[in-house]
Amino acid sequence: MNANKEKPMLNVDEAKAHILNTLSKLKSDKIEVIDVADAQGRVLAKDVLAGRDQPPADSSAMDGYAVKFADQENVPATLELIGEAQAGTVFEDTLGKGQAVRIFTGGIVPDGADTIVMQENTTHQDGEDSVIINETSHLGRHIRYQGHDFKAGLTLLSKGKRLNSRDIALAAAGNVANVSVYKKPVVALLSTGDELVSAGEATKISQIVNSNAPMLANLIDMAGGIAVILDVVGDQDNALKTAIENIPDVDILVTIGGASVGDYDLVQGVLKELGFNLGFWKVAMRPGKPIIFGTLPQPDKADITVLGLPGNPVSSIVGAYLFLLPMLDHLLNADSPLLIQSKAKLTEALVENGPRQAYLRAGISHDENGQLITNQKEDQDSAALLSLSHSQGFIIRPPHAPKAAKGDLVPIMLLGNLGIY
């Protein structure tokens, strides 16, 4: 009999559901208005409506001549050249019977014209005031009609959309200079460990470079948050307590390291001394089992949501992919998740899985038929960064998954496609 029997470990989906239930959505006052050009990766807090028709007037899709359709039904046809319609100008006169206007791509179709004949189908000598049409164009040929792309007032982009460069072009073309977006959630990163030093500062064999803080800061930044990297704290209760008591005003505190059961794994104990409401500790996953989640009450302020990640770099980033990114998506009210799951064909067999859901670093590419293919990296040590860097994603092995043969389709988590380009 074990008197201290723990609650059964949550599985990955249960842990994620627990986290999202705990988080309250950012309130509408956490909105800011920014320049559309700076909005890449930001999530819209209001719909973006077109401020004008696009194109704003009937315009030419080609360099050529604006004509009346009827005047070039029988070719060759010689037409009188009465002027030019260049992009950025308006040709003020009306085209009469038997007349043509030289027009350039983007130029507004003059009144009286209904068809564009492309330059390649005409003959014209410089200085001459006539043009010969050699090939008939159908009525309306090469005209982009006013509002063809979109009409003023149309919803171009909906609330909840995470903006990419194409969306920015769309909003800008709609004459929208500013957009309302959710403010970036602020995430404090607190690394723990006597052994940790910053990159470039490692001189002793007892030291380990803090690679997790810059990794997670970068991920948070890409996901539309703001990372605040706090000073590393050593493995002393008091130092950790002081650091956590002095956390700046943030939405999420991510602790790194010290989440397990070793003598120097102090995070949970210190959090509890500070009144922590533990949501869960440990998730049935591999790597990254000892994950801590809960809320830390703050005097006179909203609770801080705490995610405690293990220190091994791969455990840390898998925990961040699975839980921190959805937290950011949730706080940002984003309408779709950043990480995508898919399926890929194994190029090598896999052994059966144990009781915890496994995330295997994997190479992911396409075969000659365009089919996604994958194979696990040889080095699956949770501290191995080289195989992490060489992976394009993870093969997901559900608990107790039977062995899988070469050619089997397996679920994968695809990286390098955060959908924000």
Q: Tell me which stretch binds Mg ion (CB under 5 A): 20-28, 78-86, 191-199, 314-322.
A: 191-199
Burial 27-66 (b: 16+ CB within 10 A, else e): eeebeeeeebeebebbbbbeebebebbbbeebbbebbbbb
**C-alpha closest to that of 35 among 163, 141, 133:** 163
Q: Which of 81, 82, 208, 409 binds ligand AMP (CB under 6 A)?
A: 208
Q: How far is the CB of 319 from ligand AMP (least distance, A)?
A: 11
Kindly report the backbone phi and psi dihedral angles of residue 322, in degrees, each rounded to the nearest multiple of 5, phi listed first. -75, -35
Would you say 105 or 198 has its CB closer to ligand AMP? 198
Q: Tell me which stretch binds ligand AMP (CB under 6 A): 128-136, 218-226, 259-267, 401-409.
A: 259-267
- Supply angle C-alpha 222, 223, 228, rounded to 5: 80
Region label for 289, one of left (φ > 0), alpha (ψ between -120 and 50) or beta (otherwise): alpha
260 scored as a contact of ligand AMP (CB under 6 A)? yes
193 scored as a contact of Mg ion (CB under 5 A)? yes
313 scored as a contact of Mg ion (CB under 5 A)? no
Q: Which of 39, 213, 270, 283 binds ligand AMP (CB under 6 A)?
A: 213
Q: How far is the CB of 201 from ligand AMP (least distance, A)?
A: 13
312 scored as a contact of ligand AMP (CB under 6 A)? yes
Question: What does 419 interact with, of Mg ion, ligand AMP, none (CB < 5 to 8 A by kind)?
Answer: none
Would you say 318 or 418 has its CB closer to Mg ion? 318
258 scored as a contact of ligand AMP (CB under 6 A)? yes
Q: Give Dmax (Cα) for the chain.
A: 104
Residues that bind ligand AMP (rule: CB under 6 A) add up to a total of 20
Which three-class secondary structure state does DSSP give residue 166? helix
**C-alpha closest to that of 316 among 207, 184, 185, 190:** 190
Q: Which of 257, 279, 294, 319 binds ligand AMP (CB under 6 A)?
A: 257
CB atoms within 10 A of CB 229: 17
Which three-class secondary structure state does DSSP give residue 38? helix
Binding mask 249-268 for Mg ion (x = CB under 5 A): --------xx----------
256 scored as a contact of ligand AMP (CB under 6 A)? yes
Instruction: Provide the token pair at 222.
Output: 């890409």
Q: How far is the CB of 336 from Mg ion (least distance, A)?
A: 35
295 scored as a contact of ligand AMP (CB under 6 A)? no
Q: How far is the CB of 240 from Mg ion (least distance, A)?
A: 11
The H or E element spanning position 244 is helix 237-245
**C-alpha closest to that of 258 among 356, 191, 188, 187:** 191
Contacts with Mg ion by CB under 5 A lie at: 193, 257-258
Contacts with ligand AMP by CB under 6 A lie at: 191, 193, 195-196, 208, 210-213, 256-260, 262, 265, 310-313
